[in-house]
Amino acid sequence: MIKLILLRHGQSQWNLENRFTGWCDADLTEQGVSEAKKAGYLINKKNIIFNFAFTSFQKRAIKTLLNLIEELDKPIKNVTKAWQLNERHYGALQGLNKAEMANKHGEKQIMIWRRSFNTPPPPLDKNDPNHPRNMKIYSSINPNDIPDTESLKNTYERSVPYFKSNIEPVLKSEQNVLIAAHGNSLRAICKYLFNISDKMIVKLEIPTGNPIEIDLDNKLKVINYSYMDVTRAKEIYFNK
């Protein structure tokens, strides 16, 4: 049986401040570090061995993975950082307070931008200093690949092909994989793995710092899944 662990990063400073984060590089809070360490403890307790881990270019996910690894008895030898696993780009909403934007645009519109499958927020101006094109960490990426805004569908279209091309081959070699990423890149991967419909994906919410343990057969069909911290578990809307 093959193990795939999906982990949303621990609480970030902008999670705490209720701000749209997207591709902005918010750091972990103390609680976020604790969540990451607890995730590592829970994984270690199950004696799951990983030779491969994947994360994004964003420090909240990278630091989550590093803090998790500190709790493991055996290190993870192969760690890959991929921008395709970044959080969804929230366009012109990035950095803004969610409650304030709900007051301005209406709660219904904000929920459409946050949770719908194919409706992106307004785009971020390419000249904005907070645009990823203007950030050093993305200087190695083709500027044409860097979004101005994204829907979950757009996020799916970069995260899932990366998963198929780079992560599935590792899983097919019957090696366990850990992915430490973000709410929406993981929602996209869950949509693919669990065959969640466009309509139902609106309801999927992934809590910070709580590993989803997925058992796969040798054809990568999901056999079983569960959150490791059952006190903070959410519904996954498994459709297979």
Q: Which residues carry out catalysis?
A: 9, 87
Q: How far apart are CA 214 and CA 216, in angstroms?
A: 6
* Side-chain-side CA neighbours of residue 195 (13 Å): 6
Closest CA to 80 of 57, 107, 105: 57
CB 130 within 8 A of CB 136: no
Contact of 67 with 126, CB cutoff 8 Å? no
What residue type is assigned to position 17 of the chain? E
From the list 134, 148, 139, the residue with the least C-alpha distance to 88 is 148
Whether residue 70 contacts residue 34, with contact meaning beta carbons closer than 8 Å, is answered with no
Specify the amino acid at residue 136: K
Of the chain, the end-to-end C-alpha distance in Å amounts to 18
Asked whether 189 and 159 are in contact (CB, 8 A), the reply is: yes
The residues facing 5 across adjacent strands are: 178, 213
Structure tokens at 17: 């401040």
Q: Are 15 and 208 in contact (CB under 8 A)?
A: yes
